Structures are given as C-alpha cells and as structure tokens.
Structure 1
Amino acid sequence: MRSTKARFFFMAGALGLLVFHLSKDSDQPKTVQLNTDVKEIRIHKSLSIKNYSYVYSWPKCQQNITANNITGFTTLPQNIQDFLYYQHCRHFPMLLDLPEKCGGAYESNKVFLLLVIKSSPHNYDRREVLRKTWAKERMHNGVWIRRVFISGTTGEGYEKERLNKMLELEQREFSDILQWDFSDTFYNLTLKQTLFLEWMERNCPKARFLFNGDDDVFANTDNMVVYLQSLNDNDGSKHLFTGHLIANVGPIRAAGSKYFIPVQVQESNLYPPYCGGGGFLLSGFTGMIIYRMSKSIPFLPIDDVYMGMCLAKAGLGPASHIGVRTAGLHIAAVTSDAYDPCFYKDILLVHRFLPGQIYLMWNRIQDPDLDCSSSRTQLHDNKL
C-alpha cells in the first residue's frame, strides 16, 4: 500500500513539474519522450487549438526485404515494388493534428456530417475554393457540417519543407488539415484512408455520418444533409455505405494502367462490390467497422476497392445512389451548356470539376432566383 501511494505521488509531482515547464513558455512546442520499444509520445502545442494534444510518433517503418523473394518481383514496375516493400507499414508520424475538431471524442455525436477530403499538399487552390463553397463549415437544417482535409507529404528537401510550411500556415488560419509524414501518392491512398480512420476512432468516434471524397469533385452537401436526415431508421448508428456502385469487375492486369494490380499483389480476378472513390457517404458506425476489418486485411493500393474488401469481410455491402456521379454526367445534346446549374441542383456529387467551375456552380445553384421549371436541361433520373 505504501509503495502504491509513493508511486502515485511521484507521478503526480512529475506531471505537475511537466505542466509548469510547459506553461513557462507557451510559444514554444514542448517534447516529452517516453522510453518505449513501441513508440514515443510527444506533447506539443497544436496550431489554433487551445489545449495541448497527444501525437503518436512511430519509429520509421523498415523495408521488408523478403519481398524480393516474390515470384516475378524484379519484372514489376518500381511503384509496385515499393508498395510490396512497405505494404506492412501502417503507422507514421503525425505532422498536423486536430484532436478537438469534433469537440472531443465524447462530444463528437454533435457532428452530423464530417467531410473527409483527400488532398495532396500542392492542391492549395482546390482547398481554398472548397472552404468557400460546398465544404464550408456550417449548420444546415439544424445540424453541423465539419471539414477535414487529409494529406501526406510530397517532394523532397526544400520543396517538401515549403509545402509542409504552406499546410502549417493553412492550419493556423483554418484548423482543417490532418497530415502524416508519408509519401502522398496514388498507391498510398489506402494508407491515407486507414490513418484517418485511426484518427477518427481516437478523436471523432461518434460522428453520425461521413462524406469521403476527392478535392476535385462538386458535392452538393446541402442535399447530402437532406438525404441523410430522411433515413428515419438510421441516425448513424447503423450500416450505411452508398455512392456510385461498381460490381463484377476485377484487377486491371495491364502494366501501363494507373490502376495496374499484378497477381503478386492480388491473386483473385474479381473484386468485391465497392463504391467509386471520388466520393461516397457512410455512417460513423460503418466507418468504425471498416477500420476494425482493415487491421486483418493486407493493404491493396486501390483505396475504394479496399473499402469494399473490408465491408465484405464484415458481411456488409455498399449500395448505389443515383445522385452520386463519380463517372460524370452524361448529358443529352439538348443544350450547348453542359454546366447549366439545373443539371446539378438535385444531385449529390459529380466528378470532376476545376476549382473555378466549383466556385461558379456552387453559387449558381444557391441562387434563390434559379428557375428550372421550364428548362430543357432537367435530368429526371437525378432526383434524390
């Protein structure tokens, strides 16, 4: 009993000393390293966040040299070789964190729709437009919409430093970026997704619904809220995963394709059903299910397919929503204006848009004087 009390007072005294030192110079980030064979814990002052936050910094992941023994390894493109070398790596240092984004883990149920937007560091112009348009944080129909951009790092040397500094400056102003120290490449999108889900489990586990998508889509988030509120039997605590459904397809074996997946990565010739990664909606419940399943499923570099694999393992499936058009709109030649806002006012999402097009379209569909009642451009199959 005495030794237990002594240990308690020693720990309390050490914590008090730590807080004293942290408070002496509030402008400087502080680091406390705990000797452990798994990870170090750094305590630092988060940008634009009042409280100190805990950031987990993992040791650098080592190359799996046994990948060299895979049959035909040397004939594979370099990006596939790199993927196989580091396929096991799932933990990376976090450079920018937002532990209070959802109001804390226990208050995160107040977030109705969390927009999770995949964005590379150099896509500054896209982030700026989204903050002013469909990704603006706001209350709509009585519920809160929140936003995070998820990113890795790009470039080397001075270029990497400059891009990281840009994200840091954005963070100071907007508090909307999650960044990890991994290479932000197409084949690392699955890693990016699982790192976010790990963050969500820690900081935002009770968010009702999520929109997960790219930073080059036009999303009607007002319509998303209306649709999600119409799900009378689902407040986010039940399964939901919906978007542009893709089924009965398999890996592309052509080495020249952006989506090339050789048999050394995926032996099966058939993928489970999944939704196109340009954008989809899911419940917080399903997000956590996907994260738990991901812990026992080897990474596949195609992130949307990987989500489908996690759903399949859980005995769940994705659903189709006619308002999600990740393959774009196919417009009949009844008008010369393919960007008439009457095409877009009732949909949930269209892929792809340039920043200027997003800005213009968002403002046009928000125009209270917009009248599509007599327009020849209505898309009858786009109604929610």
Structure 2
Amino acid sequence: MLLRLALELLCIITSVTSDRYQLVPRPLDSVIPERFYEQNGRVNQPPLITLTEPETIQNEPLYMLIIVRSSSHHFQRRDAIRLTWGNVSDTAEGRVSLVFVVGKSADPTVHSLLLLESQQHKDLLYVGFEDTYANLTLKDLAVFQYARKLMAHCQYLAIAGDEIVLDISGVVQFLADAYDDVAINQHQSEGVRELSICYEFPCCTPVIRENSSKYLVQNGYYEGTLYPSYCSGTFFVIHMGLVGEIYNMMLDTPFFMPDDVWLGIIYQKLGNRVIPNKDYWFLNTIMNPGVLSRINIPDQK
C-alpha cells in the first residue's frame, strides 16, 4: 500500500516538474536585452480565462494538432478553412485535428455568434481576453496552455494564421521524411535541441521606433536596437515534447510585441535550434483564395 502511494506521488511530482526548463546563459554577443534573462519569479500569471474549449479532441492519439490563430470576427475565414484544407483528419502518419483560437469581442453580437459557432462546430478555443493586436502574446500563451494538456497524446503542434491555405499532406510528409521521432531523439542525444520548423528571419532586424508604425516598440518593452533571429508567425511546427518547457518559459519572460519576436527570445533562452526551412506549404490567400500549392520562398538576406 505504501509503495503504491509512493509511486502515485512520484507520478504526480514528475507530471508537474517534467516540463520545467533549464535556462541557457545569455551569450555575451546577444542582441537580446539582459532583463529578458533575469529570473525574478513568474512575470506572467496563469491561468487564462477560457470561455469555451474544443470538444472535437478527446484523449485520442494525434500525429499533429493544428491551432489556427483567428480574429474573433473572421467567421468567413474559419468556415472556408473548415470546408477546404482544414477538412482533413486522417493522414498516412496518423490523425490530424484542427482548432481555432479566438479572443473575446467587445461587440455583444460577435460574442453571441462565437458562442453559437462553438456549439455548432465544437472546435473553438475561445479565451476571455480582448482580441487585439496588443494581446497576441496572450493568445500565444493560451495556445501553449491548451496544447500542454495534449502532450501525452500528440506528436507535433502546428500553429498557423487564418489567412493561409495549408497543404497538410505536404507538412506531414516532410515531418515523416526528415524530422520524425527517431531523428529528433538522435539530435537530442547529441546535445542538439530542435524546436521549430519554420521560415526563419535571421538576426539582426532593426527594432521599429516610428510612432506611426503598427509595429512600434517602446524602449520600456524592449531596450535593444536589434532583434534576434525568430520564426515567421504565419506557420510553424513544434515537436510536442517541448511544449511544456516553452509554456513555462513564457510565464517567466516579459510580454512584448511583435509576438513572433517574443517567441524567438523564448527559443534562444531555452537553447533550442530553429530548423530553417525555405520550402513552405502554404499560400497567403487574402488576394487569391482559390490556390493551393507548395511554394518556394527565397532567402531573405
């Protein structure tokens, strides 16, 4: 009896602590301001308020969970995704499920429609903070908070915007060929931590300080003049085994925008290596929603 209780306690402790991270010291030549490496306890506090959670995902094995970041009023985009590229569940490597994450709307009509949409499709992660550009970092935190619950049942997490058409079969085939569990475990045994397969913006992009720009960053949020390398937020893939570490690092890293740069800082604090990939599986569909193909994006140097 005592042995069983001890084993159960060990399982509880392991489940709580297994996704803690080891902070990599800040390199002397890093462009990231020192304050992002200061550990003074958690600066961002969970839990986030969730109004509805998807009912389409149970405790079933998944090869990939795709979470689409969508604005609350983008009803037509979500419907278009459900009818086209998002209408995929079975692939050669396993099941794929898709979830939309949306923020709260101040418009009561939009709020009511979101609740109806959630009841109808059961695929909305509807979080209780305002859906604004300034809150995109909060939305990222909500994505990882939710994905963390599914770590034991899923192999990959993909994050996308709602403005794209995605070739899911191309993504799955790429992962199966080049970055399956065997390859990732081999790299980890060699001391290489692979985090994200994405289009990488290399260091060192200048920080925008123009007051008229949507991407203005005040000195109080980011004191440096250059950004580190980071993944394009339009679409990227993460091995699910790292989601817990990323989530906890998010809680210990001050928020600021742009959110994809913030995630880039988190990657570097964890010592993870981004896998740059120029062969993209999506098209921006705002101007041409009828096209679905793989495209090649040239190096940005």
TM-score, normalization: structure 1? Answer: 0.59
Q: SS at 2:227's partner residue?
A: coil
CA distance in 2, matches of 1:125, 1:380: 27
CA separation of 1:381 and 1:127: change in aligned 2, threshold 3 A: same
CA distance in 1, matches of 2:85, 2:179: 24
What residue number does 2:282 align with? Answer: 349
Shift of 1:272: 2.1
Percent identical pairs in the alignment equals: 23
Contact 1:217 1:349 in 2 (8 A): yes
Q: Given residue 175 of structure 1, which amino acid in structure 2 is its aligned partner?
A: K
CA distance in 2, matches of 1:314, 1:182: 28
2:200 aligned with 1:249, yes or no?
Answer: no
What residue number does 2:270 align with? Answer: 314
CA separation of 1:257 and 1:230: change in aligned 2, threshold 3 A: same
Contact 2:93 2:172 in 1 (8 A): no
Shift of 1:101: 4.2
Q: Aligned residue pairs: how many?
A: 248
2:86 aligned with 1:135, yes or no?
Answer: yes
Shift of 1:89: 5.9
Shift of 1:146: 0.4
CA distance in 1, matches of 2:257, 2:208: 12
CA distance in 1, matches of 2:240, 2:160: 15
Contact 2:231 2:264 in 1 (8 A): yes
2:280 aligned with 1:280, yes or no?
Answer: no
Contact 1:90 1:191 in 2 (8 A): no
CA separation of 1:307 and 1:206: change in aligned 2, threshold 3 A: farther
TM-score, normalization: structure 2? Answer: 0.75
Q: Given residue 98 of structure 2, which amino acid in structure 1 is its aligned partner?
A: R
Q: Select the structure of larger CA radius of gyration.
A: 1
Shift of 1:125: 0.4
2:162 aligned with 1:215, yes or no?
Answer: yes
Shift of 1:245: 0.6
> Which structure 1 segments of 5+ residues have no match?
1-86, 325-347, 367-377
Q: After superposition, what is the alpha-carbon deviation per residue over 1:21-47, rounded to whole angstroms, capped at 9, x for unaligned?
A: xxxxxxxxxxxxxxxxxxxxxxxxxxx
CA distance in 2, matches of 1:218, 1:380: 15
Q: SS at 1:271's partner residue?
A: coil
CA separation of 1:134 and 1:258: change in aligned 2, threshold 3 A: same
Q: SS at 1:152's partner residue?
A: strand
Q: After superposition, what is the alpha-carbon deviation per residue over 1:227-258, rounded to whole angstroms, capped at 9, x for unaligned?
A: 11113552677633021111211421111111
What residue number does 2:172 align with? Answer: 225
Shift of 1:323: 1.6
CA distance in 2, matches of 1:277, 1:208: 20
CA separation of 1:232 and 1:173: change in aligned 2, threshold 3 A: same
The CA RMSD over aligned residues, in Å, is 2.6
CA distance in 1, matches of 2:134, 2:152: 27
Q: After superposition, what is the alpha-carbon deviation per residue over 1:288-344, rounded to whole angstroms, capped at 9, x for unaligned?
A: 2211211211111211111111111111132211123xxxxxxxxxxxxxxxxxxxx
CA distance in 2, matches of 1:260, 1:251: 8
What residue number does 2:215 align with? Answer: 259
Q: Which moved more, 1:200-209 or 1:124-133?
A: 200-209
Contact 2:151 2:241 in 1 (8 A): no
CA separation of 1:264 and 1:203: change in aligned 2, threshold 3 A: same
